[in-house]
A and B are shown apart, each in its own frame.
Chain A
Amino acid sequence: MFERFTKDARDVVRGAAVHSERSGSQSVGAEHILLALLDGETGRASLALAALGLAERGESVRRALEAAHRRAGLTRAEADALAGLGIDVSAIVSRVEEVHGVGALSGDRGDKGWWSGRRSFSRGAKDVLERALRAALARRDRHVGDEHILLALTVLPGVPAEILADHGVTYESVTRVLNGQGESQAG
């Protein structure tokens, strides 16, 4: 699958692994892919994010990701739905962390990798990369670029999509600025 990835897209995948390692996580999650996208400066996704005003708001996105960690990786909408049932997710996370250590309920539902201590891509991260491939096909682009990874993050339900939408980054807004870029490049 990776042979069709552009250099920028490969940099994002590598950067996601570095973020995962730095955070002490056992697997690479979709949130690490989002962090790696924020690091980029040259790719089409970076240009799109800058056009949507996210370049200056990276810190806000990082804070939102940390908040999601304290919700056991659930989205705010999910935590609110549970609060409606009288379940306080942050209280559960605090209790578990008291006994089992910070980050025990990290929210990265890695597949089997966590057990053997191997760094692997979580199901969520794999879904993002597969969806990026499909986004490239849908746009009839021959290569999978970092912009397709960004598009994938906006459509897959979960914390990254929720945070991006909160910052005005949706499939529609990204598509709009990407098409604008394409026109200016063609012209």
Chain B
Amino acid sequence: MSEARDLAERAGDRDPRVGLRAVAALRRLLEQLEAVQVRSARNQGWSWQEIAAELGVSRQAVHKKYGRQ
């Protein structure tokens, strides 16, 4: 509990710049993790529909983002 509270306090750092930078960095990290996992799933023969279902997005969204142009 106290550990969670510490984290929450740090996440709400008083300097907005630090907090916003962390959010932006997390978003970029997330994008890269998603790309790695989608590529891996495709290599293992997953359909766009299956990938989309796991990611909780529409098939069109994931295909538009990662599909062959």
Contact = CB atoms under 8 A, between A and B. Distances in A.
Chain B, interface SS category: helix
A172 B51 CA distance: 47
Contacts, number: 63
Contact of A82 (B29, B33, B39): B29
Given A77-B21, A112-B69, A85 B11 contact: yes
Interface residues of A, number: 24
A123 to B, nearest CB: 11
Given A84-B13, A115-B67, A115-B68, A96 B26 contact: no
Nearest to A77: B21
B7 A82 contact: no
A109 B28 contact: yes
A106 to B, nearest CB: 8
A105 B32 contact: yes
A105 B68 CA distance: 20
Nearest 3 A/B pairs, CB to CB: A78-B25, A81-B22, A81-B21
Interface of A: 72-74, 77-79, 81-82, 84-87, 89, 92, 96, 100, 104-105, 107, 109, 112, 114-116
Interface of B: 7, 10-11, 13, 18-19, 21-22, 24-26, 28-29, 31-33, 35-36, 39-40, 66-69
13 contacts: A73-B32, A78-B24, A82-B22, A82-B25, A84-B18, A85-B11, A85-B22, A85-B26, A86-B7, A89-B29, A100-B40, A107-B32, A109-B28
